[in-house]
């Protein structure tokens, strides 16, 4: 905190910023939380996608300069972020945990953040940030009376009060209802469209899909994929799938399915048939046709191992 309250000197005027990670690792004792991650983030909205424990929070904290990398470098426009007050003035972080003083009004809360940054006109900065998240109507009410979504917006306003070029948000949609989610998505879109570099973490594929075209996927501390969302989505849905099937004649169905190009393996069990398919769409389209042609009724079709972890792990192996 001492770094944030250091005397403010005018930062060089920049319209956009680039956050760059080169070979970044972070370990806690024997636990490798982040493993050799390199990426460059520019203006616009990027999603940081990964299952729980993938290392997203650790990565965001290193980006924000709150945590030192065990190895590698994190720089903002060429300057290291770790222990660098000049960088803190150009970067905002909305952390995952909610630590908001509920007895304060949103205005007081955002104003406190403006004062911590030693802004020349904290009142005006607080008003501007509150307007940006559209909380003007509720700014004089205690935060304790807010909905989860409003509280989250107040936290975003506090992180934006010094008008940073870079905004990092850790799981900003957690616990929000669909309407609050849409509101937050719209806000991130607007901030990204205005030229800010926005990175938000999430473990939900659909969330990332709706907010950003660019995605960085983390699995077990490593960067598993990065780039255009549609390409990564295709990789995920085209991966091999395993299905458990029950039908009126598993044996005959197994024989018929072996002739299907989308099927890569068939195993006849005592109570069900296990089928491996090269891609989801072709197989699920072919199965009813094959069954109909054989006069077999499919009683159950269950995709196996559809956990988010298995989807992400596939990306690591791909
Ligand atoms: N302070 C710490 N001490 C020891 N281990 C830690 C610490 N912080 C994180 N870890 C470990 O590092 C790994 C990555 O954690 P991290 O919180 O960065 O992941 P995450 O993707 O943000 O997950 P989540 O969404 O569940 O917070 C986990 O195995 C976690 O247990």
- Reported as half-sphere exposure (CB side, CA atoms, 13 A), residue 174 has a value of 14
- pLDDT (tens, 9 = 90+) of the chain, 318 residues, equals 333 334 444 444 556 788 999 999 999 999 999 999 999 999 999 999 988 889 999 999 999 999 999 999 999 999 999 988 888 889 999 988 766 778 899 999 999 999 999 999 999 999 999 998 889 999 999 999 998 888 888 999 999 999 999 999 999 988 788 888 888 899 999 999 999 999 999 988 778 878 877 889 998 899 988 888 777 777 766 667 788 999 999 999 999 999 999 899 999 999 999 999 887 778 889 999 999 999 999 998 887 755 555 666 666 555
The residue contributing the CA closest to ligand 1 atom 23 is: 53
Token code pair at residue 28: 């806690």
51 C-beta closer than 6 A to ligand 1? no
| Whether the predicted model's global pTM rises above the 0.90 cut | no
pLDDT of residue 140: 93
CATH code 3.40.50.300 region(s) in the chain:
19-234
Cα separation of 121 and 201, whole Å? Answer: 32
User: CA distances (Å), 22 to each of 35, 75, 239, 270, in order?
Assistant: 11, 9, 29, 52
* Rounded distance between C-alpha atoms, residue 226 and residue 214, angstroms: 7
Give the span between the Cα atoms of 240 and 235, in whole angstroms: 10
Q: How far apart are CA 222 and CA 25, in angstroms?
A: 9
- How high is the pLDDT of residue 3? 37
- For residue 33, report the distance from its CA to the centre of ligand 1, in Å: 6
CATH class of 238-317: alpha beta
Ligand 1 centroid – CA 55 distance (Å): 6
Spatial strand order of the sheet with 273-277 comes to 263-268, 273-277, 241-247, 298-304
Distance from the CA of 31 to the center of ligand 1, in angstroms?
A: 9
Q: For ligand 1, atom 13, name the residue with the nearest CA.
A: 33
Q: Hey, CA dihedral for 78, 79, 82, 88, is it positive or negative? A: negative
Give every CB contact of residue 202 below 8 A, 6+ residues apart in sequence: 47, 48, 49, 171, 173, 208
31-41 β-sheet, strand order = 31-41, 19-28, 71-76, 79-80
Please give the pLDDT value at position 75: 95
Tell me how far the alpha carbon of residue 58 lies from the centroid of ligand 1, in angstroms: 6
Residue range(s) occupied by CATH 3.30.70.980 in the chain = 238-317
Q: Which one of 25, 37, 57 would you pick to mutate in the ligand 1 pocket, going by the greatest count of ligand atoms within 8 A of its CB?
A: 57
The token pair that represents 157 in the structure block = 């306003």
For 265-288, how does the pLDDT look when each residue is reduced to its tens digit (9 = 90+)? Answer: 999 999 999 999 887 778 889 999
What is the Å distance from ligand 1's center to 220 Cα?
A: 10
* pLDDT given at position 311: 63
Fold held by 19-234: Rossmann fold (3.40.50)
Atom 8 of ligand 1, residue of closest alpha carbon: 58
* Burial environment of residue 284 by CB neighbours within 10 A (0 to 12, 13 to 18, 19 or more): middle
Determine the distance separating the centroid of ligand 1 and the alpha carbon of 245, expressed in angstroms: 38
**Which pLDDT score, from 0 to 100, does residue 297 have?**
94
Q: Is any atom of ligand 1 closer than 6 Å to the C-beta of 50?
A: yes
Q: Using one digit for the tens of pLDDT, what is the confidence trace for 86-143? A: 888 899 999 887 667 788 999 999 999 999 999 999 999 999 999 988 899 999 999 9
Which residue has the least CA distance to atom 30 on ligand 1?
A: 53
Q: Token pair 């990332």 is at which residue?
A: 208
Token look-up 């979504």 returns 149
CA-nearest residue for atom 12, ligand 1, is: 33
- Ligand 1 atom at minimal distance to the Cα of residue 50: 21
Is the shortest distance between the CB of 53 and ligand 1 below 6 Å? yes
Ligand 1 atom nearest residue 170's Cα? 22
- Nearest atom (ligand 1) to Cα of 61: 18
| CA 247 / ligand 1 centre spacing (Å) | 44
Ligand 1 center–CA 214 separation, angstroms: 24
Ligand 1 atom, smallest distance to 203 CA:
25
């Amino acid at each position: 905190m001492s770094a944030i309250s250091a005397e403010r000197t005018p930062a060089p005027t920049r319209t956009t910023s680039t956050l760059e990670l080169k070979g970044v690792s972070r370990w806690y004792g024997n636990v490798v939380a982040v493993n050799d991650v390199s990426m460059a983030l520019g203006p616009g909205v990027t999603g940081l996608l990964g299952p729980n424990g993938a290392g997203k929070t650790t990565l965001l904290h290193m980006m924000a300069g709150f945590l030192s990398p065990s190895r590698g470098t994190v720089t903002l426009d060429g300057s290291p972020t770790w222990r660098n007050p000049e960088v803190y003035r150009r970067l905002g972080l909305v952390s995952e945990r909610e630590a908001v003083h509920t007895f304060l009004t949103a205005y007081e809360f955002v104003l406190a953040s403006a004062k911590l940054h030693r802004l020349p006109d904290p009142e005006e900065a607080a008003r501007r940030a509150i307007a940006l998240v559209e909380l003007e109507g509720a700014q004089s009410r205690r935060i304790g009376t807010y909905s989860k979504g409003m509280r989250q917006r107040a936290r975003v306003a506090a992180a934006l009060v010094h008008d940073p070029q870079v905004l990092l948000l850790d799981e900003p949609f957690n616990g929000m209802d669909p309407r609050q989610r849409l509101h937050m998505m719209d806000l991130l879109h607007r901030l990204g469209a205005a030229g800010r570099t926005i990175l938000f973490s999430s473990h939900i594929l659909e969330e990332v899909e709706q907010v950003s075209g660019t995605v960085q996927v983390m699995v077990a501390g490593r960067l598993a994929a990065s780039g255009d969302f549609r390409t990564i989505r295709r990789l995920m849905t085209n991966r091999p799938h395993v299905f458990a099937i029950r039908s009126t004649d598993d044996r005959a169905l197994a024989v018929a399915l072996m002739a299907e190009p989308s099927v890569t393996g068939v195993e006849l069990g005592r109570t069900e048939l296990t089928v491996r398919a090269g891609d989801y769409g072709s197989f699920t389209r072919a199965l009813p046709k094959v069954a109909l042609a054989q006069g077999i009724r499919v009683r159950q079709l269950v995709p196996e191992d559809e956990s988010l972890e298995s989807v992400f792990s596939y990306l690591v192996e791909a």
